[in-house]
Structure 1
Amino acid sequence: MSTLRSAKVNRLRSSTPSSASSRSGQSPRIGASLRQRPWLERAVRLVAKLITLSFLLSFGWVVLLKYLPVSFTPLMISRKLEAMGEDQDSRLYKNWTPYESISKEVALAVVASEDQAFPAHWGFDFDEIQDAIKDNQHRKRPRGASTISQQVAKNVFLWNGRSYLRKGLEVYFTFLIELIWGKERILEVYLNVAETGPLTFGVEAASRRYYGHSAQSLTRTEAARIAAVLPNPRLFSIKKPSAYTQKRTRQIARQMRYLGGRAYLKNL
């Protein structure tokens, strides 16, 4: 019996280090590996610092733009450089205008046209995303499902183009502006930075350039026409609307009525 008891004790003792090792996980091995390779340890620390710094800078940038006008976006700069490269007039038409000074007809028009679930979602319309995925299986030209929040995140903070990196950053900035800015500020920025014509950004600049008056006095039809060109303002024209643009304008005006008019945006 004593021999059997001693064998059990020895087995327990021999198993103790491996059990402790399994409980500790892989961190001792990783730590040892890093110590054996000083350059790898320095690289890991550098990457960690860069990630932390990037987060702090982006967070601070978003907080700052909650209160300051968005004077320039990457898209504005890109359009200006294109015009300069083609020896064209590169003047940008833009007039930052507070939300209170913009007709709620145009605010409603862009929501009716671009993102009817805007007041309710948290930056992403998952139902619309699923519908777009299904539709795109049968379409030559894929349709997007970006919300107004996603478009603002892309226009204000990111570059043009398609990549997993840019899409991932779009998700990140969309989450931040929904959390920090709130719906009214997001819509205010969208109405000021959206491309509305050649070298023209924002509804105030479009209203003055194409209608001859401020965005505060936009009619429902005028507002709907601005919204109608937003998918491709370099192809569609507010000043010289095509048959398609006129048809789309009427459709948006009907949607504005179905949504209940300006009251739809009352509680942003």
Structure 2
Amino acid sequence: MKGLLRWMLLVLVAALALQLFFIVRIATMAVIAPQSTAFQRSEAWRIASEKHQLRWRQQWVPYARISDNLKRAVIASEDGSFTNHDGVDWEALEKAWQRNAKAEEQVARQAAQQAARRSASRAGAAAARPLKAPKIVGGSTITQQLAKNLLLSGERTLVRKGQELVLTFLLERMLNKERILEIYLNSVEWGEGVFGAEAAAQHYYRKSAAQLSAYESARLAVMLPRPRYFEKLPNSGYLASRASTIAARMRDAELP
């Protein structure tokens, strides 16, 4: 019994020490720009392992040297209520949960229909069309995305999601919205080995982040959920269409 209690105490101390580390790390970000994020280091390792070369383009630029067009485009595309919520947009999260549940139900119905058709077939082996996996919608805010990318692994577990929420609230309490957006725009992925607004602007448009136009910014914002995918499809019709939609919404995006 004493051994079990000692083990539980060690786990508790370790958990508290980890939270203290996170608090200190976030507190330093108020004045010191993070050199890298957990996601960036993971990507650098993946690229180096697969391609035997290190590709990492990133150049930190202060908030004032990032085009307001890009700030508005990212907010309009990723988190329309960024300046008003406390880190989590509960309404958007609920809607995302409902959409995901409906998508999973639809796939389950399609699977049941396929099974029924196969059993009704005289041969009992009707050709089965492969089912598309349901499209999962996240509903994460900019602060949540930053919390995940900065300090956490990419695994999807309840424990990691719980830690993400704790870090989200810490970021919101210890940093202002402008600083959160500044760190996000300087660290988010915009292609394979391309991180941050300045690297993205140079990579795609051969200009600085301060010079990005409204439409260029909208295209970059639309790329964020799948940057490596869209990097390979620069002439994507969806990318152009969605960018036009985001450009029209930008005027309503509120900056911190």
Distance in 1, Cα, partners of 2:25 & 2:180: 15
Q: CA deviation at 1:164?
A: 0.9
What are the ranges of 5 or more consecutive residues in structure 1 without an aligned counterpart? 1-36
Instruction: Verify: 1:121 aligned to 2:97, yes or no.
Output: no
1:157-196 to structure 2, matched below 5 A, reads 157-196=151-190
Distance 1:83 1:238, change over 3 A: closer
| Residue in 2 that maps onto 1:138 | 102
Aligned pair 1:54/2:18, yes or no?
yes
Opposite residue 147 of structure 1, the aligned amino acid is T
Q: Is 1:215 the counterpart of 2:209 in the alignment?
A: yes
After TM superposition, the structure 1 = structure 2 runs for residues 1-268 of structure 1, keeping only pairs within 5 Å, are: 37-139=1-103, 140-237=134-231, 240-257=234-251, 259=252, 264-265=254-255, 268=256
Runs of 5+ unmatched residues, structure 2: 104-133
Tell which structure's C-alpha radius of gyration is larger: 1
Alignment TM-score, normalising by the size of structure 1: 0.80
Change (3 A) 1:41 1:160: closer
CA contact (8 A) 1:229 1:238 kept: no
Secondary structure of residue in 1 paired with 2:230:
coil
- CA shift, 1:169, in A, is 0.7
Letter in 2 for 1:225: R
For the residues of structure 1 that align with 2:202 and 2:18, how far apart are their CA atoms? 39
In 2, are the aligned partners of 1:225 and 1:238 still within 8 Å (CA)? no
TM superposition shift of 1:58: 1.6
TM-superposition CA deviations, 1:119-158 (whole Å, max 9, x none): 0000111111111122112222121100000000000010
Amino acid at match of 1:124: V
Deviations 1:162-190 (A, max 9, x none): 11111011001001000001211110011
Q: CA RMSD in A?
A: 1.7
1:14 corresponds in structure 2 to none
User: Hey, what does 1:15 align to over in structure 2?
Assistant: none
SS of the aligned residue for 1:72 comes to: coil
Shift >4 Å, 4+ stretches: none
Q: Which amino acid aligns with 1:228?
A: V
